[in-house]
Amino acid sequence: MRQPIDIIAMAGLVLGGALGLAGAAVAEPHLQAFLWAIDSAGLVMAAALLALKYFRAGNDVVAGGFLVFGLGEGVLVSGTAAGPAGSVPSFGAGTALWATALLLVSVPRFFALPIRILGTVTAILFIVTSARIFWGETLLPTATPLPGFAYPLLVLTFIGWIWTLWREGSR
């Protein structure tokens, strides 16, 4: 039987992944900020619940990764209302925290190997993104190839986490 914490976390990951990609695809700044604000709220909620779940289960590094992910998402949403150009500093800090979180979740042998590989590759792409911003480049959240190519991989990582939660609930 699926636990409420799993269902709510899965909903937050679905909401975050779907609205995050939708926000990256729209050009109207107010709609983009609105979609990203809801996306962030869902992801912070999911990350907090997953941190609690995996901490209680004794998977401290994975739990810490979800805690850092939630913090990174909180930093990202703090710049959302400023629009893409105004959000560059918080975007750089948030992607650095995302990358750290993805590594903390992906390195331990907890999730299936394909999910861990996706998370690690996504982390590397966000490390490059944040390094470019900290090096002084004005890299917008909507820029391609990076960070644009990293978002679908991040969403695929979310799908892997959802799949894991779904399988855990089936046992």
Q: What whole-number distance in Å separates Cα of residue 69 and Cα of residue 63?
A: 10
Closest CA to 73 of 50, 56, 54: 50
pLDDT value, residue 53: 97
Report the percent of the chain where pLDDT is more than 70: 99
Q: Enter the pTM of the model.
A: 0.95
Q: What whole-number distance in Å separates Cα of residue 97 and Cα of residue 127?
A: 9
pLDDT value, residue 115: 98
pLDDT band at 170 (very low <50, low <70, confident <90, very high): confident
Average model confidence (pLDDT) for the chain? 96
pLDDT value, residue 126: 98
144 φψ region: left (φ > 0), alpha (ψ -120 to 50), beta (else): beta
pLDDT value, residue 165: 97
Range of the domain at 51: 4-170
pLDDT value, residue 58: 97
Report the percent of the chain where pLDDT is more than 90: 92
Can you say whether the dihedral through the CA atoms of 130, 77, 33, 161 is positive or negative? Answer: positive
Give the Cβ contact number of residue 159 at 10 Å: 15
pLDDT digits (tens, 9 = 90+) for 114-127: 999 999 999 999 99
pLDDT value, residue 81: 87
pLDDT value, residue 169: 80
pLDDT value, residue 1: 73
Q: In this model, does residue 75 exceed pLDDT 80?
A: yes
Q: What whole-number distance in Å separates Cα of residue 102 and Cα of residue 142?
A: 20
pLDDT digits (tens, 9 = 90+) for 3-54: 999 999 999 999 999 999 999 999 899 999 999 999 999 999 999 999 999 9
Q: In this model, does residue 61 exceed pLDDT 80?
A: yes
Question: CA–CA distance from 160 to each of 30, 32, 97 (Å)?
Answer: 31, 26, 20
Total count of domains within the chain: 1
